Structure 1
Amino acid sequence: MAETAMPGAADTARPRCPVQARRTDGVAGVTELSAEARRFLLDDETPVDGDREQRLAAALAEIRATGGYRQTTAELAHGCRVAWRNHARCVGRLHWKALRVVDRRDAASAEEVFAACVDHLRLATNGGRLQPVVTVFGQRSPDGSGPRIWNPQLVRYAGYARPGGGVVGDPLHVELTAVAGSLGWRGTGGPFDVLPLIVQMPGEEPRWFPLPGDAVLEVELVHPDLPWFAELGLRWHAVPAISDMLLEIGGVEYPACPFNGWYVGYEIGARNLADTDRYDMLPRVAAGMGLDTGRDDTLWKDVALIEINRAVLHSFHRAGVHIVDHHTVTRQFVTHEEREKRRGRATPTDRDWIVPPLSASTTPVFHRTYTNAAVRPNYHRQPPAWR
């Protein structure tokens, strides 16, 4: 979902549709929430303890009294998994049933949210045998407030704007780096400085927390055939844990719900490291290979792009960290489509996100047609919290 981060989550800066806070303290808001609660709780898929109509009646009474309702742990877990299954931009949905759901709706302070995020990273990393995890914090109140994690992912690299132009580090995160600096954080100024986690609780100022080193697994990138590649000093973090999206289940909104799967190689090799507005490594790799970069028709960009992606896959495998290539993950996606079809369900798909940016026509998804639809439960983008 990445940048959806479930398996196949594109780790990019492509534009997304933001979701605004939905207030439920008015008649229209309560009516909409009640309708969504009814649809979710009466769905035969939803695990409900006891009589389904009685459960719905209790939820509707709670909505009338408080403007919201609290879902059971079983309802929450099911909603998280179905939200992944429904997310049109994730190519890795074959594994939706394996999502591990951590219910931390009890976290009442920024310290507790941060500690739970650190636990999330350790659980997801699993010694390199990555496992999909979502940690869900408190739901949004009727007035629209709720806990927020400001970082787009739990692990992100800082971007330092140079006074004379250019950026050291990740240009995608220059603004967030400046925000962290305004809160008192100071990085080393290096190209792969891990940003602190910024947490904001309702009614409080945002606070930053440094991630402990043992919670952030990183992979140093080397190439199987080009020894000089290691001298580039490239690395990337192992767990792509999206942390700024909103989870909506049965009308209830959870504005802080970090979730992860594992990387598809091209997310790192063809986007994060290769895009001209990110680390822009194609010219340096081409120079190291002695390629003719004077003309586009030498296809030097294509050759360099393939070698960066080879390095990423080789390095993750060498380090014992799970990653998947674009051929494998797209075959898995087709398997998921066929399974869903046999179960009488459609697979909403945003083709721009499912077809890989690398060797697209060699993958099975390139030759298929897709229909996108907004379905619920689902994960949605939110505007950056600092704006």
Structure 2
Amino acid sequence: MRYDIRSLLGTNERYANSGNSHRRALRRLSDGERREEARAFLNTYCKESGATQQFQQRRWAEIRRELAAAKFYRHTPEELAFGARVAWRNHGRCIGRLFWESLEVFDCREITDPAAMAARITDHMTAALSDGRVRSMISIFAPVENERIPARIESGQITQFAGYLREDGQVLGDRQNVEATRIAMAMGWKPPTDPSRFDLLPYFIRSPEDVRSMHALPLSAYRLVPINHPTISAISDMGLAWYAVPCVSNMILSIGGIDYPCAPFNGFYMGTEIASRNFADTYRYDLLPEVAQALDLDMRRDPLWKDVCLTELNRAVLHSFKESRVTIVDHHAASKQFMDFYNIENAKGRHVSGDWRWLVPPQASGSSDLFHLRVRNKHDVPNFYASRATDGKFLMPFYGCCQSNCNSSPIDAMHPKSMDR
């Protein structure tokens, strides 16, 4: 009996990857679906880059041949950079998409060793922080090629704070990271002698063999901003802090039917992300009762005590980042920027995807134009997704029109009943 060696290798790869933890998160596209996403992406790329019809026909023929031979094709550096920027433009949960064209894209597809990846991440974080004027950047590592799963980052963000579970059941630090802290300590990470609420954790990379390794940023690659209030010393005395650059590292970048499971990207903070969510959420730092005590508020009699705490926390965060000369935006300015983005995209005939629950700021929501905006998340590709079990299952090419060309008036577009609430 004759055997096709390529077929045997494919079987072995599938067997080796069947238990891969990341394989379960990836979308499973048929050959036809991958080809359709590739075609739609190329159409968008050629249209927006001004490519000639001859170029598009030639490039599509190349892609078809690669897909037919290997069920995979390789993006050119130009296609990769364009796809990453459009993925940001399409991502319905991001309020800061006005600046999508300024995203700095670094092609790191040839860097596959975890140690070399960690070195690149250090360079990324150092450059993103710069002198405090945060640069929006993405480093794109190797894609999924058939059954071969490349190394990827397991941690949700490159910079995260530890959460220490104490014997009495209380948590010191970030409750969200209790398990990550336990894993880091089991792998040899030593917390400071005097643990605090804001101890930076190492991050984890999994190799193609699904082996976890631990990596720590050097001091030069990150910066902690001490949180001080401009007028209320009791908040300053709480000893709060946060890191300057949020770098999301466990999202999968999908471009034209090809998935990049390791593509860490960063923007800069909106104040409410820190003050109204990270500090206030009960499953994170749950600081509102502590702030209320610092402000001497009566939590039993004053129904608005949380509002007061949130406002002063936001004031402290914005003041501290500006005092430290680190880029940040308040939620009112960010909402206006999104409306500018929305209007620009509609004027260019492009649909704007949006997840209302993520776009509307958690502070003073009703005062934002976003609160009254009718949006729907089309999950257009290119895009980012967390898992095929959640948002990934909705991704697909979008062939519709922008709202201004649909059978809806400008009044409809601003109707208070959002389609995604």
Q: Verify same fold: TM over 0.5.
A: yes
Matches within 5 A, 1:2-151: 20-22=25-27, 29-43=30-44, 44-45=46-47, 47=49, 51-143=55-147, 145-151=149-155
Superimposed CA distance per residue, residues 103-135 of structure 1 (whole angstroms, 9 cap, x where no aligned partner)? 111102001111111111111111110111011
1:218 aligned partner, one-letter code: L
Deviates more, 1:45-54 or 1:81-90: 45-54
Q: Unpaired runs of 5+ in structure 2?
A: 1-22, 390-421
Percent identity over paired residues: 40
- Normalised to the residue count of structure 1, the TM-score between the two structures is 0.90
- Equivalents in 1 of 2:240, 2:342: separation in Å? 36
Q: What's the C-alpha RMSD, in Å, of the aligned pairs?
A: 1.9
Matches within 5 A, 1:1-387: 20-22=25-27, 29-43=30-44, 44-45=46-47, 47=49, 51-143=55-147, 145-188=149-192, 189-297=195-303, 299-382=304-387
| TM-fit CA distance, 1:383 | 8.2
Superimposed CA distance per residue, residues 131-187 of structure 1 (whole angstroms, 9 cap, x where no aligned partner)? 110110000121151221011011011111112111111001111112222322222
- Normalised to the residue count of structure 2, the TM-score between the two structures is 0.83
- Equivalents in 2 of 1:300, 1:74: separation in Å? 52
Deviates more, 1:211-220 or 1:195-204: 195-204
Superimposed CA distance per residue, residues 2-46 of structure 1 (whole angstroms, 9 cap, x where no aligned partner)? xxxxxxxxxxxxxxxx9832456xxxx322222211221133336
- Equivalents in 1 of 2:48, 2:80: separation in Å? 9
2:332 aligned partner, one-letter code: H
- Work out which structure has the larger RCO, using CA pairs closer than 8 Å and 6 or more positions apart in sequence: 1
- Equivalents in 1 of 2:145, 2:27: separation in Å? 9
| TM-fit CA distance, 1:204 | 4.7
2:33 aligned partner, one-letter code: E
SS at match of 2:172: strand
- Equivalents in 2 of 1:315, 1:383: separation in Å? 39
The answer (yes or no) to whether the contact 1:46–1:78 under 8 Å persists in 2 is no
The answer (yes or no) to whether the contact 1:46–1:75 under 8 Å persists in 2 is no
The answer (yes or no) to whether the contact 1:180–1:208 under 8 Å persists in 2 is yes
Superimposed CA distance per residue, residues 312-351 of structure 1 (whole angstroms, 9 cap, x where no aligned partner)? 0000000000100000000110011100110001111100
SS at match of 2:259: strand
Deviates more, 1:262-271 or 1:36-45: 36-45
Superimposed CA distance per residue, residues 178-212 of structure 1 (whole angstroms, 9 cap, x where no aligned partner)? 22223222222321111112111211511101110
Number of residue pairs matched by the alignment: 362
Larger Cα-atom Rg: 2
